[in-house]
Amino acid sequence: MEQQISMTTLAVPDVAEARRFFEEGLGWTVAAAPSPEVVFFQIVGSIFALYSREALAKEIERPVTEDTTGAFTLAWNARSDEEVDQTFKKAVSAGAKPVKQPEKAFWGGYSSYVEVPGGHLLEIAHNPFWTIDPDGAITIPPEQ
């Protein structure tokens, strides 16, 4: 198996609301929306999907938890601390709930958290130790 994740899917109670947040609020482009139950966004190197909790539970034949703030977060990395501040404000203006205001992080970067529609946590951060290519691909440098 190749070391990759092809798609990340968030189970949300309201796909339309979550879609509006990413599409209209953050300016992302929908790649496909084959039904009201699922929306796909093409992101650098993979796909990001929004899926209704009810439809996912039916597909996997088991209940889908409503607890979205457990041991899983998404992260979006900025190219500067200023870009973190701007993106945090944009996300909150688009309907995200602020969880942690942008601040210097113990690991040497700059980080914040918001709760996106559907309840999932999104970290908006700048890691000065990682490289972000012009297309948005991120690289962790080799350990010294």
Report domain extents, the chain.
Answer: 1-66, 69-144
Distance CA 69, CA 10 (A): 12
pLDDT reported for residue 142: 87
Give the pTM. 0.89
pLDDT reported for residue 65: 83
Class of domain 1-66 as given by CATH: alpha beta
Give the CATH architecture of domain 69-144: Roll (3.10)
Please give the average per-residue pLDDT across 107-113, as a whole number.
Answer: 96
Confidence band of 144 (pLDDT split at 50, 70, 90): low
Q: What pLDDT digit, counting tens, does each position of 53-94 carry?
A: 999 999 999 988 888 777 788 999 999 999 999 999 999 999
Burial letters 44-61, b for 16+ CB under 10 A, else e: eeeebbbbbbebbeeeee
Dihedral sign computed on CA atoms, order 65, 36, 20, 124: positive
Burial letters 97-128, b for 16+ CB under 10 A, else e: eeeeebeeeeeebbbbbbbbbbbbbbbbbbbe
